């Protein structure tokens, strides 16, 4: 069920401490950790601790929690001293979503092209 931990979800396992991750920030409702396959010098994922399959489901069900994730993304950028950065929610397989637990990518530390591919 939306909001409940899922046994087969990688990011729920990271929240539970059952899969290791390099955690950079944690709040009551969110965790931020380094992406295992970084696409930029800074590539951090910010997730809600509660399980929602993507940003669309999260925003619809828990808009305050969605705002927590967005605020944490900005806090990561501050901590990493990023002057320019990108916050991305890949939403749906066609947009490149591969992990079905909502997450924001925080990317920075190099020049980023727009539009992305």
Residues of this chain that bind Zn ion (CB under 5 A): 6, 9, 11-12, 51, 101
Residue 46, classed as helix, strand or coil, is strand
Contact between 33 and ligand 5GP (CB under 6 A)? Answer: yes
Pick from ligand 5GP, Zn ion, none: which does 98 bind, CB < 5 to 8 A by kind?
A: ligand 5GP
Partner whose binding site includes residue 2, from Zn ion, ligand 5GP, none (CB under 5 to 8 Å by kind): none
| Cα–Cα dist 16/96, whole Å | 25
Q: Which C-beta is closer to Zn ion: that of 7 or that of 83?
A: 7
The CB-of-83 to ligand 5GP minimum distance in angstroms stands at 23
Q: Could you give the residue ranges of the DSSP H alpha helices within 8-54?
A: 10-16
Give the Cα separation of 91 and 19 in Å (integer). 23
Please report, as residue ranges, which positions from 44 to 63 form the binding site for ligand 5GP (by CB under 6 A): 45
Q: Is 85 in the site for ligand 5GP (CB under 6 A)?
A: no
Q: Which two three-digit tokens encode residue 91?
A: 């939403």
**Does residue 11 contact residue 103 with C-beta atoms inside 8 Å?**
yes
Residues 54 and 47: beta-carbon distance below 8 Å? no
Residues contributing to the site for ligand 5GP (CB under 6 A): 10, 21, 33-37, 45, 90, 96-99
């Amino acid at each position: 069920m939306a909001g409940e931990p899922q046994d087969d979800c990688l990011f729920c396992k990271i929240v539970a401490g059952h899969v290791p991750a390099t955690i950079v920030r944690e709040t009551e409702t969110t965790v931020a950790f380094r992406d295992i396959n970084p696409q930029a010098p800074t590539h951090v994922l910010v997730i809600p601790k509660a399980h929602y399959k993507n940003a669309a489901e999260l925003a619809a069900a828990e808009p305050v929690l969605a705002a927590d994730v967005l605020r944490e993304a900005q806090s990561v950028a501050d901590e990493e001293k990023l002057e320019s950065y990108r916050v991305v929610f890949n939403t749906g397989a066609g947009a490149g979503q591969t992990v079905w637990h909502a997450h924001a990518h925080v990317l920075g530390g190099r020049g980023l092209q727009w539009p992305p591919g």
